[in-house]
Chain A
Amino acid sequence: MMKIKTPKKGRVKRELDKRAPKLVETGKKTLILQGTKTSGTLNSVLSEIYHLKKGGAVRFTRKNDNIRPFESGGETSLEFFSLKTDCSIFVYGSHSKKRPNNLVIGRMYDHHVYDLVEVGVENFKSIESFTYDKKIAPRVGSKPFIAFVGEGFENVDELKHLKEVLLDLLRGKVVENINLAGLDRAYVCTAISSNKVYLTHCALRLKKSGTVVPRMELVEVGPSMDLVVRRHRLPNEGLRKEAMKTAKDQPKKKVKNVSSDAIQGTIGKIYIPDQKVGEMALPNKAKGVKRERREAKNKDANEHASKKQKEESE
């Protein structure tokens, strides 16, 4: 015995459609949460990552004892949260003696864990510790430039994986058109050694140069930290092949009431219903109405005055 459940409200239906799988995907939402114990630095790291990704991130502030990403049974809670908040990347922070200031960055495919990278945070400098001219501060939600420097990202397996995950995390929304005036931030990741990466967030200052292209100047504004790769788990081959599948480009849907002409260019058709001039409501401030009202008032006043005179005479 089955029952068909459909949403009764349009708002609910729109939300469900937003979460449905799409052919071409826009950015992934991030889930930021913490484990049993966190340190001060880790707390600030998590909150600053949340600020950097303000538009597309969800932050959980309670501790979660039962989440152990690298163990086989410890991912169920993560998958449940991912399903409920519709987030496909998560950043899980925890602190222990063996792994101090630990961050696990992971991705999900169909709300199941796809791959994981575990990094330790060292030499963390928060946003407050940087002094800079407030005018060049990057705005929330702007698309960043991302730069990776170092041969380690090509040669070392773990750093290659970290590069892919960091790109996914820092990318933001995937857009077709961007406004060149709104480019104001850049992330720079350099591979210092075979397992250490220096990540920093800078604001862009565009300087006049002779050509159309302005000269770029990077000013460090945001958090900067050293990431030490500890563990990582790559996805298994079958899952990876399925996740990398893309849909073949479909022909663009025909837009209605728009046609193009060689001479006139793009022409659009607008349909307007017939105006019923006799049935339209007049605006309140019509001159005629005011005058009528004024005359009516004067007439009343005159009547009153005449009545009073009559009474007095009587």
Chain B
Amino acid sequence: MEMETEFTQKPFQVDMGNLLAFNPFHNFPSLPTSRDELVKECIQEGTKLVQAIADSVFNLPSTEDADGPLVKLPTPTTKLPREKHLPKPKPPTKWEEFAKKKGITKRKKDKVLWDEQTGTWKRRFGYDRVNDDKDIPIIEAKMTDEPGVDPFAKRQDDKKKRVEKQEKNRLQNLKQAAKIGALPSHVQLAATALPITGTQAPPKKVTKDELGNVAGMAATSTASGGKFDRKLPGEKPAKKQGKHRKFLPVVEGSGIGSREKEQTENVLNKLISKHSHEILNVDKAVTMYNVKKEKKARNKRNREGKLSSARNKLKPKKQLHKKNGKKGPGSSKKGKAK
């Protein structure tokens, strides 16, 4: 608010809303020599301005309060930039647009409703509500009902579908609001997955083991086999790939030193043995034969049940292998590949 003060040639600009005063007509013709004098002159000028503001503020109509006189300040006149954008009004939702078009008005709903079944006033929604699904004892069968369909489960499914549809609609409304920048302040829309475009399949989540394998492969492909790579804090040493090869000591001796001697002895015995029972491991052979027989019986039973033509095609192939009998681990593997 512009106000004339005692100095008629030099009006101050007073903004009461901000308790601000500005004197645009003062200038220092020559800077005072000492700092103290400068300070004193500044304070003097300041005092005049503050007095001018106080003059106008104290003359405003005031109301008495416990701590002192309360004054209602006018709106500030100096315009300052806002700190955030102006809030945009929420766009009408799809239902609101439809209702406006059709002329449907909102009706006030009661908090409690009369429940016929129990004869009490029950609330409209929430715990112990009026028309709860779980309170229905009997549902009468209609002509349009399919046999084998549980009507209670069907009611629950219908409700779930309705709720899902509502959630989808709500999401669509919020997306529309977000597009024009009018999303309510407490709501955030978070993307749970990247958008799928074209013929891409949704990206599969990589498991810890897979990542470990890939990291191991990358490490071993370096010149020094990944041994001297700088590791991140907390990274475990790489797992060994392949079979653990144990090299026995060359020096002869007792305990582990005599292992090599035992190994070569076993091989020689097998080669130069006179009796076949020393070569053949009877227990192992018997178990293998039994397992194979059980498997054959099982497959026969399955085939009789299913009658698939594909299996008939494989039949002659199977007869061939039967002739070989118990040869070793090789034959049983072939049998498995039916």
Contact = CB atoms under 8 A, between A and B. Distances in A.
B28 interface: yes
Given A13-B186, A200-B42, A216-B47, 9 more contacts: A4-B174, A6-B188, A107-B83, A109-B85, A145-B50, A147-B23, A148-B22, A164-B80, A171-B18
B19 A192 contact: no
A218 B81 contact: no
B45 A149 contact: yes
B95 interface: no
A2 B19 CA distance: 49
Interface in B24-76: 24-28, 31, 35, 38-39, 42-43, 45-47, 49-51, 53-55, 57-59, 62, 65, 67-73, 76
A114 to B, nearest CB: 6
Contacts of A98: none
19 contacts: A3-B191, A17-B185, A21-B85, A21-B185, A109-B82, A144-B19, A149-B46, A163-B22, A164-B80, A176-B72, A176-B73, A177-B72, A186-B50, A190-B46, A193-B28, A198-B39, A212-B59, A218-B43, A242-B85
Nearest to A219: B43
Given A177-B70, A204-B50, A20 B87 contact: yes
B187 interface: yes
B190 interface: yes
Q: Interface residues of A: mostly helix, strand, loop or mixed?
A: mixed
Interface in A169-216: 171, 174-183, 186, 188, 190, 192-193, 198, 200, 202, 204, 212-216
Interface string A207-241: 00000111111101000100000000001000010
B70 A179 contact: yes
A212 B58 contact: yes
Contact of B55 (A20, A213, A247): A213
A4 B171 contact: yes
A186 B24 contact: no
A238 to B, nearest CB: 13
Interface stretch (A22-30, A60-68, A265-273, A303-311): A22-30
A200 to B, nearest CB: 7
A19 interface: yes
Contacts of A1: 191-193, 195
Nearest 6 Cβ contacts at the A-B interface? A181-B68, A20-B185, A188-B46, A243-B81, A88-B83, A21-B84
Given A177-B73, A188-B43, A214 B87 contact: no
Contacts of B17: 174
Contact of B81 (A114, A182, A215): A114
Contacts, number: 209
B275 interface: no
Contacts of A204: 50
A92 interface: no
Most chain A C-beta atoms within 10 Å of own C-beta, residue among B47, B57, B81: B81
B219 interface: no
Given A88-B83, A143-B19, A200 B39 contact: yes
A220 B188 contact: no
A178 B68 CA distance: 10
A168 interface: yes
B189 interface: yes
Given A149-B23, A235-B81, A245-B82, A216 B68 contact: no
B23 A150 contact: yes
A25 B75 CA distance: 12
A7 interface: yes
B20 interface: yes
B174 to A, nearest CB: 6
A6 to B, nearest CB: 6
Contacts of B51: 215-216
Given A4-B170, A149-B42, A180 B72 contact: no
A143 B59 CA distance: 18
Given A110-B84, A212-B59, A16 B185 contact: yes
Nearest to A198: B42
A61 B266 CA distance: 77
Nearest to A87: B83
Contacts of B171: 2, 4
B162 to A, nearest CB: 18
B94 interface: no
Contacts of B55: 213
A220 B41 CA distance: 13
B42 A188 contact: yes
A28 B83 contact: yes
A179 B46 contact: no
A214 B58 CA distance: 8
Contacts of A176: 72-73
B113 interface: no
A151 interface: yes
Contact of A179 (B47, B54, B67): B67
Nearest to B20: A146
A256 to B, nearest CB: 15
B83 A218 contact: no
B22 A243 contact: no
B21 interface: yes
Contacts of B69: 179-181
Interface in B218-267: none
A154 interface: yes
Given A110-B85, A186-B50, A3 B71 contact: no
Contacts of B191: 1-3
